[in-house]
Structures are given as structure tokens and as C-alpha cells.
Amino acid sequence: MRNFAKDILFGISVGDALGVPFEFKNRENLKRYPATDMIGFGTHSQPKGTWSDDSSLSFCLADSLCDGYNPKSIANKFFDWFEEKIWTPHGRIFDIGIATTKALSKLENIKDTSVFVGGNTENDNGNGSLMRILPIVLYLKDKDINYRYSVIKEVSSITHAHFISIFSCFIYIEIALNLMNGFNKEISYKKAIDDIKNFITEDNFNNLNQNIYSQIQNTEDNINKYLGYFAKIFSGNIKNETEDNIKSTGYVLDSLEASLWCWLNTDNYKDSVLKAVNLGNDTDTIATITGGLASLTYGFENIPKEWVDCLAKKEDIENLANRLNNKF
């Protein structure tokens, strides 16, 4: 039986490590000097095979899920990482997003109450929840769409509580779920879009967003406006966008669009994540998100062995993947 947990955890962390040395390099620079292989040092002066906060927080989520779904446990794992106690590649944090820092700083004082402390304004839509959301698909694979949305909303809101972040995570997980169910990538994408379009017309979609509406920035009218931001993805034709129309910034919607574009325009894991890195800017996260979809599409065996072998804490990741696979 296929070990989807292994696909996911290595798919994201290898993509992440590939992108770390190139983070913040612009697209024009990478056209002249493209990424072609896993290297060390670069932007963050880290050894070859070093993954970033993208993978760290994904591992924390996966670690928590080994004991079942519990938002407080997930938040506590995130906070333990924030204090450099668990899931760092070399014992310290070298990269962390602003929104995640703000949210996890709040957890120090409220660990026994609410853990949904992510920012909820339109300016709080970095890609920090999308980059770490993929392991939740293993828990959600047999659940209905209403429950899937509710759980994704909770897991995102630990650090990113605005609708745009939540909905980006939701689209990503729906596509991943279709891949796990054996659909090819084109059908996985288009089926997810069709299913989501149907879902958002249902009365229950508004009911599920009631606590979001309690925030002034997330009124029902605004959510209808925000849904319009997803037009490029909802078109079903993002594959055909020109590269100039694809942005690779840290804005969550840009990151999702870029990752889908890279994944849909390649036919193997290696090319998909290299394409993601060579878009420039937020290279590690775009490659992380792309790598998750690519590994679910092509399997762990399609990830270059030399990239896997040099990965920091490879054995720990494999052990976590086996624990998670046994749970689900």
C-alpha cells in the first residue's frame, strides 16, 4: 500500500531545501543563473539539504496528527518549535514569517485558552499556513466537504485567520485529496474547482463562516469579494497563463497560483520544483507547496535520490512519515 505520508513529508521538505539557498533572488537573476540542483549555503548560509520553517511546521502538524486531530496539540507543537525545542534542521530557527511570529508569540500567554490567534485582516495573508497545511489531508481523506472546510479553517487560523488564507488552504487540500483518490493532475485540479464552486453556493458555506463574519474585515459581502480574487484559479485554465502573469511572492494567493502553474506545466517531481525555484523571490515556499502536489502525483520514488539522501534529519522524517502512515 502506498505511503502517502512519506510522499508528502519528503515532497515538501525536498522542495523546501532546494529553494532555501535561492530565497529572495529575483526572476531575472535566476534566468541568467538558474537553479539546476540541490546546493548549500546561498541566501541563508545553510548546509546543503537544509529545510526551513515551511517543513518544520509541517512536521509539527504531522507529529501532532499521529495522536489524532487536536488544534491545541498542533498549536503547542508549533510553539515548541518556536522555542527551538523540536523540528529544527540544525537546532535553531533561521527563517520565520512575520505573521507566524506574531501568532506564536501570543500562544505563550494563552496556551490553555484559544489557539486560533492568527491575524484576520487582509494584510495578514502571507503564505505561512498554506506552506504547512498538507499533512492534514491524511486526516481529512474520509471526511465530508463541510468538515474538511471546518478543520482547514481551524488549522490555518492558528497563524493565519483571514478568509483568503483559509480558502487558499482549502483549494490546495481539495486538489491533494483528489490526487490521493487516484485522479490525474488535470482532473484533480478541475474536479476540485467544480466541487468547490458547488460548495460555496450552499447555505452551509455561510454557516461555516459565521465566526469569520464576526471579524469586521471578514463580513459576508467581503467574502464574496474575496472569492473573486480566485478567478484565475477558478477558471480551470491556470496552466495556460504566461509566466509574466504568475507572481512568486509571499502573498498566499500568489504562492498558490505559482505552485499550481509549476505543477501543471511539468511532468515529474524534479522539473516541477526546479520550475518553482526559478520563478524567484519566495523560492523555498513556492517549491514546498509545489513539491507537495508533485510528490502526490508522481510518488516518493520520483524524487531524486541524491536530494533525499542529503536532506537534514532524513531518518527522523522517515520515522515520522511511518508513524503518520500507520495512524491513517
For residue 20, what is its C-alpha cell?
532555501
Contacts of 273 (CB under 8 A, 6+ apart): 14, 15, 18, 19, 262, 287, 290, 291, 294
Please tell me the distance from the alpha carbon of residue 182 to that of residue 193, in angstroms, as a whole number. Answer: 17
- Collapsed DSSP state (helix, strand, coil) of residue 41: strand
Residue 144 burial (C-beta neighbours within 10 Å; 0-12, 13-18, 19+): exposed
When pLDDT is cut at 50, 70 and 90, the band that residue 112 belongs to is: low
Start-to-end C-alpha separation, the chain? 12
Residues 176-232: pLDDT tens digits? 999 999 999 999 999 999 999 999 998 778 778 876 655 545 666 688 899 999 999
Reported as a single tens digit per residue, the pLDDT across 123-162 is: 999 999 999 999 999 999 999 999 999 999 999 999 999 9
Given this model, what pLDDT does residue 222 score? 82
Closest CA to 76 of 128, 102, 101, 111: 111
CATH number at 4-327: 1.10.4080.10
Per residue in 34-78, pLDDT (tens digit) is 999 999 999 999 999 999 999 999 999 999 999 999 999 999 999
| Model confidence, pTM | 0.95
Look-up: residue for cell 548546509? 47
